[in-house]
């Protein structure tokens, strides 16, 4: 990695923001629920945290957006904490090569989701959390508040309600897993919890701060262990192979960092040992990833020489 002085880094982030903004207008905001379809499309933000506690930003980095599938990263962290190795009974660790909400593979693979970052896998994680947490919704939000040092984080209840009203495929996945004996709690209850996780609102600064422990062998900057170093390595590996829907290969090829995206237009990326990064721009490409956000990460990785494959 090239060593970049702070003022130079900020300048680079602004240049990257300008270039990435040129893609705005070429993607499409998620429209599967009305509450997301009405998000103003021409927004862009970027935040980068380093292990000295510095936060570098560009664009609307304080603007909160719907974290959507980025929540799958943090619910996985909670479940790894509670279950350890046992979590992987009935849950795979392979890329799916299918749409994030596909039912086909789940049927042919006996109700065992390929990985925790497709919907079926995240629903299974929520099911496991439901078995062991007294208030799974509340506990995820509290974890995110403490990691981001932002006590004001909230769930957008309109988005959560809308998710539940349009959650037939998710319900189908949960019932299919239940039919295979791989889902233990009432489906409606788990769907509600999952919808609330997706509907949490955070800014790029919040998310970059919340994910920083993944760049720091599982520890927060004040020494709190969120995951062990081994668990952190494994979560980062899953982010690398499965974190960007059906575009994880392209993301590895062009960016080369562990990452997790959401249809709200956010992408979190980790440069282990150095940085956590969050970009956001609501317009998505055909794979469901932020168009300008993906491009910004590619530019950032190239400019600063960031990649886990170098």
- CB of residue 35 to ligand GLU, shortest distance in Å: 11
Cβ burial of 81 (10 Å; 0-12, 13-18, 19+) is: middle
Q: Which helix (H) or strand (E) holds 237?
A: helix 229-242
C-beta of 254: minimal distance to ligand GLU in Å? 20
* Residue 194: active-site member: yes
Q: What is the SS3 assignment for 63?
A: coil
Main-chain phi, psi angles of 225, to 5 degrees = -85, 115
117 vs 295 by CB, closer to ligand GLU: 117
Q: Residues 159, 190, 240, 245: which is the catalytic one?
A: 245
CA 30 and chain centroid, separation? 16
232 in contact with ligand GLU (CB under 6 A): no
> Is 72 annotated as catalytic?
yes
* Strands 55-59, 275-280: pairing kind: unpaired
Q: Judge contact between 307 and 256, C-beta under 8 A.
A: yes
Could you say whether residue 69 binds ligand GLU (CB under 6 A)? Answer: yes
Report the alpha-carbon distance of residue 281 to residue 236 in Å, rounded.
Answer: 23
* CA dist., res. 35 & res. 52, Å (int): 37
Min. distance of Cβ 32 from ligand GLU in angstroms? 7
Catalytic position from the list 263, 271, 276, 290: 263
The pair phi, psi for residue 73, each rounded to 5°, is: -65, -45
Q: Which of 81, 98, 101, 105 binds ligand GLU (CB under 6 A)?
A: 101
98 binds ligand GLU (CB under 6 A): no
In whole angstroms, how close is the CB of 169 to ligand GLU at the nearest point?
A: 7
Give the footprint of ligand GLU on residues 181-200 (CB under 6 A).
198
Q: Tell whether residue 129 is a contact of ligand GLU (CB under 6 A).
A: no
68 binds ligand GLU (CB under 6 A): yes
Instruction: Return the closest-CA partner of residue 66 out of 213, 252, 223, 200.
Output: 200
Candidates 78, 170, 182, 217; binder of ligand GLU (CB under 6 A) is 170
For residue 262, give both structure tokens.
Answer: 């959401």
Please, which of residues 8-37 interact with ligand GLU by CB under 6 A? none
Which one among 57, 119, 217, 240 touches ligand GLU, defined by CB under 6 A? Answer: 119
Interface residue list for ligand GLU (CB under 6 A): 68-69, 100-101, 119, 163, 170, 198, 262-263
């Amino acid at each position: 990695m090239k060593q970049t002085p702070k003022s130079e880094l900020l300048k680079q982030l602004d240049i990257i923001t300008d270039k990435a903004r040129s893609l705005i207008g070429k993607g499409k905001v998620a429209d599967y629920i009305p509450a997301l379809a009405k998000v103003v499309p021409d927004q862009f933000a970027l935040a980068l945290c380093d292990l000295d506690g510095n936060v570098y930003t560009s664009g609307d980095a304080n603007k909160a957006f719907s974290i959507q599938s980025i929540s799958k990263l943090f619910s996985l962290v909670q479940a790894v904490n509670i279950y350890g190795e046992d979590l992987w009974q009935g849950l795979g660790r392979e890329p799916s090569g299918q749409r994030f909400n596909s039912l086909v593979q789940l049927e042919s693979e006996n109700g065992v989701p390929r990985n925790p970052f497709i919907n079926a896998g995240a629903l299974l994680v929520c099911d496991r959390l439901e078995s062991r947490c007294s208030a799974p919704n509340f506990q995820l939000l509290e974890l995110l508040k403490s990691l981001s040092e932002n006590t004001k984080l909230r769930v957008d209840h309109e988005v959560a309600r809308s998710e539940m009203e349009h959650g037939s495929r998710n319900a189908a996945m949960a019932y299919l897993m239940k039919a295979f004996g791989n889902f233990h709690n009432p489906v409606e209850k788990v769907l509600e919890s999952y919808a609330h996780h997706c509907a949490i609102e955070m800014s790029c600064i919040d998310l970059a701060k919340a994910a920083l422990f993944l760049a720091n062998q599982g520890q927060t900057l004040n020494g709190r262990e969120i995951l062990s170093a081994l668990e952190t390595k494994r979560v980062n590996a899953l982010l690398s192979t499965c974190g960007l829907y059906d575009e994880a290969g392209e993301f590895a090829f062009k960016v080369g960092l562990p990452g997790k995206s959401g249809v709200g237009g956010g992408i979190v990326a980790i440069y282990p040992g150095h940085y956590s990064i969050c970009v956001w721009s609501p317009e998505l490409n055909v794979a469901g990833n932020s168009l300008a956000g993906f491009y910004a990460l590619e530019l950032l990785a190239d400019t600063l020489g960031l990649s886990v494959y170098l």
